[in-house]
Structures are given as structure tokens and as C-alpha cells.
Amino acid sequence: MKKILYILILTFSMTAVAQETLKEGVILSKMTMSSSNPDVQSQLDMVGEILSTTYFKDDKTRTEVKNMMTGESTNIIDSTEKKMLVIMNNPMAGGKVYAENFYEATEEDLKDVTVTKSDETKMFLGYECSKYDVVVNKNGAEVQMEIYATDKISAINQQTTSFGDEFKGFPMFMEMHMNQNGMEITMTMEVNKIDNETVTADKFDMTPPEGYKKVDKLQGM
């Protein structure tokens, strides 16, 4: 169960007005998780709400996720160089570790993903968002997603980088349904605030922090 929760948190971390494209600012999001299984729900209740902060400027994005139960994670993306740094401080996943990757979806990634864009749109915080239905088969589980994304925010979402060219935009709302070994979990993420403010360049420094161990691949990625 702890492994599944960790993968969900990472997914989330790695889980943002006017219709002009916003190229700099700060996005606040909230994620909740629920299950029809009482035992699973009791553990999800211990985790509680998971809050994330996304900083973005032009071609760079930084997302921070913090939770008392699952620790801290940060991912920094440079969309021009197609590079990503993921930093984890999580007792369930080996403590302080980091990984450096190129994030473009590979042919192998795309074999596990089906993306369908519908004609449906919905407004979130003043942004018109297109609906995508996404199915991902990974780690022995099928995840079904309903996502509303806008192409008017330049931030990059770590998870959707593996969806290929058929998916465009930044997710403002995402609902994911997962069933693994009979455990049903629904995860809902929604952006609840967008601030059009200046972000300093040091937020996007991709130098690995001291005291962290480098790994080739983080669990859940």
C-alpha cells in the first residue's frame, strides 16, 4: 500500500483570467484521494490533502509537493533542453535521492498510453480547457484519467510529458481512477489559484543538492 501511495504522490508531483498565454507565475494545486475499500480509505485519510506549488517562467517549470506522511518532492523541467531533475526526500523511498532525465516520451512509453481528445471544454479559473481521456497501463495497473487542460499557460506538467504529442496544455483538473490487486483508488487534482507574479531564476537551478544520492530511476517513474 505504501508503494502505491508513493507512486500516486510522485505522479502527482511529477504531479496550473485572460486568454493570453501566461508565461510566468505561480500555480497552487490540491489533490485528494479516496477509495471504496474501508481499509484503504483509512490509510488515505492519514495522508490527507496534498498541496503543490508550481513556479514557471518561459521554458522552465518547478513543482514542489509536501506532505507530512509522504515527505517532499521537487521536479524542475527545462523544456528547451528537454531535461528534468527530480529530487525526493521520502522515508518510504530510500530517503534523500535525486534523478536526472530527459523527459520526452519514448516509443516504449507511448505503447502504454492512449490519449483521446474530446470536443468538450470547461472553464477553470477563467481558462477554457479541453477535455482529454487518457488510459495508462503501468506497473501492473490501469489508470484511467479525465483531464481538462489549457494551452494558455506555459508551465509543464511532469506526468503529461509521457503522453506524447496528442496531449497539449497544462492540466487544470485531473481525476484518476486506479485499480490494483483489488484496491480501488480515485485521485482528484485541481488548480485552485494562479498568481501572475515574478519568479526568480534560482528556482530553476538544476544543480543537484548536497546530501542527496543519485539514482538512475526513481520508483514510480
> Could you tell me the domains of the chain?
2-214 (2.50.20.10)
3-state secondary structure of 52: strand
Mean pLDDT of 85-93: 82
Contact present, 88 and 73 (Cβ < 8 Å): yes
pLDDT tens figures, 30-40: 998 888 888 88
Q: Which pLDDT tens digit goes with each residue over 157-188?
A: 988 888 988 999 999 999 999 887 777 889 99
53 Cβ contact list (under 8 Å, min separation 6): 26, 27, 28, 29, 63, 64
* Other Cβ atoms closer than 10 A to 36: 10
Residue 142 has pLDDT above 80, yes or no: yes
Q: State the DSSP code for 136.
A: E
Tell me the whole-structure pTM to 2 decimals: 0.84
pLDDT exceeds cutoff 90 at 105:
no
State whether residue 5 is helix, strand or coil: helix
Q: What pLDDT was estimated at residue 11? A: 55
Decide which of 105 and 192 is more confident.
192
Residue indicated by cell numbers 510529458: 161
DSSP code per residue over 56-86: EETTEEEEEEEETTTEEEEEEEETTTTEEEE
